[in-house]
Structures are given as structure tokens and as C-alpha cells.
Amino acid sequence: MTQEVTGTAPEKLVAVPVRHYGRWVGALVVVGLFGWLVSAFGNADIHYHVTRDYLFEHVILVGVWHTIEISVLSQLLGIGLGVLAAVMRQSGNPVIGSIGWFYVWLFRGTPLLLQIILWFNLAAIFPTLSIPGVWHADTNVFITPFMAALLGLGINEGAYMAEIVRAGIGSVDNGQTEASHALGMTQGLTMRRIVLPQAMRVIIPPTGNEFINMLKSSALVNAAQYTEVFRVSQTEAGKNLELIPMLFVAAIWYLVLTSVFSVGQYYLERRFARGAQRELPATPVRRLLALIGKPPRT
Amino acid sequence: MTTPMVKAERVHKYFGKLEVLKGIDLEVQPGEVCCLLGPSGSGKSTFLRCINHLEKITAGRLSVDGELVGYRQQGDKLYELREKETAAKRAEIGMVFQRFNLFPHMTALGNVIEAPTKVRRTSKAQAVQDAKALLERVGLADKVDSYPAQLSGGQQQRVAIARALAMKPKLMLFDEPTSALDPELVGEVLDVMRGLAKDGMTMVVVTHEMAFARDVGDTVVFMDGGVVVEKGDPNQVIDNPQHPRTKAFLGKVL
């Protein structure tokens, strides 16, 4: 028996959708609270025109650039050290393994701000730095604010990256290592050619998160007199005595930077989630387009 | 008399307190195909993994082609081999795994040329030429640029065999090579192995494929509880088992 084919489309199902009264109440409360906050800020004695005037001031823009620069370089240093420390901890050699463990223990266990100040005052411990016969420098000359910032942020970041890389290495099936060993590959070769490339899938998304954290943590290198955006905004506030408006200048720039890199992070994670989920959720852009009724581009 | 390719004397293996190999004596001659049969947990896979030192033996002597596995003997003292020396010895022994263990981030070709170029330092051009010939031999000439995820289980296992053969091994170890495959894909892998046996490759095969063991095996070894229960000619062991344990096992699987 075959089903009868009708010419008309099936009658559309009509039903009263579930009413979400709670959402309306919640939205009203949120709007009310927001209005109260805005009025509080608006009525406060803050010279907002100062914020506006300084936002694109040359010194501020240079500070923003320095923030990006020190964050990117520190993150790169952190990734390098993190991979190194993670691989060291996997090593069968107990001396090398202990060094990796000690590094993570020390730099993850002390405050970043403390580390930055210590790097900046390295001359108190090592008045001169030298590689005998190759290189020699006065510590106070070598440790510029930039170097102190880079070492402080990068070496601290390396300790956190080490844990992320270690998780990534752990996520690779042990059969991969066995197959490599069976082919006569040494541990080092196996790590470099087989395990790390596969671990990247797990390592990259949290690294994006770390970088966004880094953008904000870079404000701490203020302590090493490095002229990133937070420091320059504070220096300017010292001159014009407008502390709060100048804090807003820095806050706006941090939000801009983290927003831009969050978008990058979002797409990076999406890319590395491929294969793990059957269907990826729509991107915010597509959802927005759908909301205003435009057909999404595919 | 020729040197046996594999020679095990009173090989014991403990995992912690658990004794999984309880004194294995076994010889595999060059060119021989030796099939290891037995219930799971009988120690056959463990024994196979001892042959290329993926597992260390606890007691006894195990040698491949006249050389101890994992150790060097001077006088009556044993010295553990360095990692590089062990790796160099493993390079001479091919291994095929139950779950293929192909490198998922490399194409079929990439999988096959990896060890020749990185371990043997063969030139890339030469390695690619050899790899293509090997992939053709296992019937995958058209899958050279496919990634493992794009291949069926049977195709993946054939790439894995080509990958092992690329190192020109003197001995091939197969650890239940068809156990993870759909029944209809088993045949294509067994055919490749049959071809290898015909070309004179020395093979140690852990398998549950009785027909393969009977047709291709020169000797069949039945293991249970960490010991060799019975070994000999396939027709004798499979069709006319003497030991009650062998009879019981074969009665269930045949």
C-alpha cells in the first residue's frame, strides 16, 4: 500500500508558544539598573571631555602600541618556554624533568607583579651579566624597562603555557607514540613530528585565552616603568590631575584590544573544533543577519 | 644451521605483581610465518610487544636475528641499550597494530615516507618513489594523498602495512591486524599479508583468523595463561589439537 499523494501542502501546525513572562521582568530590572548606573556616572563630577580629548592623543596611541608589542612578544616567549618546559617534564631524564617541574612551580607560585619588580632590579643580585668569552653586559644597561617587562611577562606566561601544552600532549593517543617507536623513531623525533603537531588542536584555543589575559596583565609592567597604555595614561593624569577620566582612556583601549582579539579567538576556536562537533553553531554575525531577516551567506 | 629470527628462552613478564608471561620458549626461523593464537589475556600481544622492546621482559632471554632485544651482553653481564640503539633495532622490525595507529595529520604518502626520511635519512624523492610502489603493492595507488580519516578501516590498515614495509624490515609483527575491522574488510588486509608471506617475509602474527593461520601459517602457537600450551604444524594444532585447553578454545571459535 502506498501513501496517497496530495496536491496541497500539509496544514501548518498552530499552537500558542510558551510565554516567558520571567524574561520580560528580568529585562525590565536590567534596564532599570543600567539606567541607574548611567545616571550615577553622569551625575558624578567627572570631566568626560578629558577622556574624549585624550583618547587619540599621540602619547596614548604610542602606549597602546607598546601594550600590543609587549603582549605579543611576551606571549611568543611564553609559548616557546611553555613547550620547552612541558617537553622537559615528559622526559625520562629525572634531572631534566625536575628542572621543568621546578620552573613551573616557581613562576606559577609567585605573583607576577613581584616577578616583574624582581627582574627590573636584577642588578641587585647580578651586577653584571656575562657568557664567559662571548658576551658581557652591565645588568643595569641590559635590563631596560622593556627587557624587564618582557622577561617578567614572558617567563611567567611560560609556566602557564607549560600546563596547557602538557594537557595537549596528554590528549594525543598513546598508540601514536607506540607506532612511532615501532618505526624506529626516537623520543625527540616522535615528540616533534608526531605528538606536538596533533597536540596543537588542544593547545591553540586556550592559548588565545591566555593572550587576552596577557593584554591586561601587561598593565603590571607599569612597575618596571615600561610605557604601555596604562602607565602613560597615569603619567598624563599626574600632569592634568584628571585621574578617573584618564583611567577611562586606558579602560576603553583595553576593551578595544580585548574585543578585537576575542573575535580572533572565537574564530580560532571554531576552526579547531571542526570534527569534534557534528555541526558548528552559527557565528554571531550570521545570527545577527538572521535576526534582521537577511538570508545568511553560506 | 641458520640463526633463528626470533628466539625466546624462558621469557617472563610481570606487570607489577601480575605475571603475564610465564616462561615462553619459542623459535621463529627466517622466512617463517608464525601465528599466535589464544584467548584474550593469554599474553600473546604482550609477547609480540616484547619482541621489539615496546615492553621490557622481566626474566629470560629474547633475541632477534641473533642479537638480544634491548640489551648487550659482555661476558656474562647485561648492559641496557641506549634509546638510540633500541630505536635503531626497532627500525629493522615492522609492526602493525590492531587500531592501525596511522598519523592522522599526514596523508597516506606522508605516513609511509615519515620514517624512511627521518630515521633512515633516505632522500625525499627516493622515499616518495618507494612509498608509491608500496602503496600500489597494497592496492592503494589512488589513495596516496588521502588522509587516514578519509580511508576505510581496511584501507587504513593496508597503509599501516605499507608504512611498516617502507623501513625494509627483516621481521614483521602483526598485533591482531584485522580485529578492529568490519568483517567485509578483513579479506583485503589478509590478502596483503598473504602476499607478504609468499614473498618470504618472516612474520609473527597474533590473530583470531583461524583460516588465515591454517593457510598461511608455517607454525601455529597456542598460548593460554602466559604459557605456550601447544605448537606445531597448523593442520595438526588446529584440526587435531592434543591439549584439552586448545580443544576447548578451538571448539568455541571454529
CB half-sphere exposure, B85, CA atoms < 13 A: 10
Which residues lie closer than 8 Å to A216 by C-beta, 6 or more apart? A254, A258
What pLDDT band is residue B155 in, cutting at 50, 70 and 90? very high
Minimal CA separation from A176 to chain B, in Å = 6
pLDDT on residue A121:
94
Q: What value, to the nearest 5°, has the Cα angle with vertex B100 and ends B98 and B102?
A: 160
Least confident of A73-82, A137-146, B87-96, B161-170: A137-146
How many Cβ contacts (< 8 angstroms) between chains A and B?
A: 62
pLDDT of B1 higher than 90: no
Yes or no, beta carbons of B87 and A179 under 8 Å apart: no
Please tell me if residue A197 touches chain B, with a CB cutoff of 8 Å. yes
Please tell me if residue A132 touches chain B, with a CB cutoff of 8 Å. no
CA distance B3 to B45: 24
Find the residue in B nearest to A178 (Cα). Answer: B54
Find the residue in A nearest to B91 (Cα). Answer: A184
In chain B, which residues have their Cβ closer than 8 Å to the Cβ of A185? 87, 114-115, 118-119
Q: What percent of chain B has pLDDT over 90?
A: 94
CA distance B132 to B144: 7
Minimal CA separation from B97 to chain A, in Å = 8
pTM: 0.82
B121: left (phi over 0), alpha (psi -120 to 50) or beta: left
Mean pLDDT for A199-207 is: 89
Minimal CA separation from A162 to chain B, in Å = 23
Please tell me if residue A81 touches chain B, with a CB cutoff of 8 Å. no
Please state the ipTM of this predicted complex: 0.94
Please tell me if residue A189 touches chain B, with a CB cutoff of 8 Å. yes
- Residue from the list A175, A178, A185 with its beta carbon closest to the beta carbon of B115: A185
- Residue from the list A176, A179, A184 with its beta carbon closest to the beta carbon of B119: A184
Fold of the domain built from segment(s) A50-273: MetI-like fold (1.10.3720)
Cell numbers given for B25: 620458549
Mean pLDDT for A114-124 is: 94
CA distances, B156 to each of A133, B189, B204, B237 (Å): 55, 10, 20, 32
Judge whether B123 and A198 are in contact, CB under 8 Å: no
Nearest to A230 by CA among A249, A255, A250: A250
pLDDT of B118 higher than 90: yes
CB neighbours of residue B230 within 10 Å: 20
- Tens-place pLDDT, residues B135-145: 999 999 999 99
CB neighbours of residue A292 within 10 Å: 6
Mean pLDDT for B29-54 is: 95
Least confident of A237-241, A251-255, A278-282: A278-282
Q: What value, to the nearest 5°, has the Cα angle with vertex A98 and ends A97 and A101?
A: 90
CA distances, B9 to each of B6, B14, B58, B61 (Å): 10, 16, 12, 5
Helices B183-198 and B153-165 pack at an angle, to 10 degrees, of 20
pLDDT on residue A285:
78
Yes or no, beta carbons of A185 and B118 under 8 Å apart: yes
Reported in sequence order, the residue ranges of chain B that DSSP labels E, i.e. its strands, are: 6-15, 18-28, 33-37, 59-64, 67-68, 71-74, 77-80, 93-96, 171-175, 203-206, 219-224, 227-232
Cell numbers given for A233: 595614561
Higher pLDDT among residues B229 and A141, named by residue? B229
In chain A, which residues have their Cβ closer than 8 Å to the Cβ of B88? 184
Judge whether A153 and A112 are in contact, CB under 8 Å: yes
pLDDT on residue A294:
65
pLDDT on residue B253:
81
Minimal CA separation from B133 to chain A, in Å = 19
Find the residue in A nearest to B104 (Cα). Answer: A198
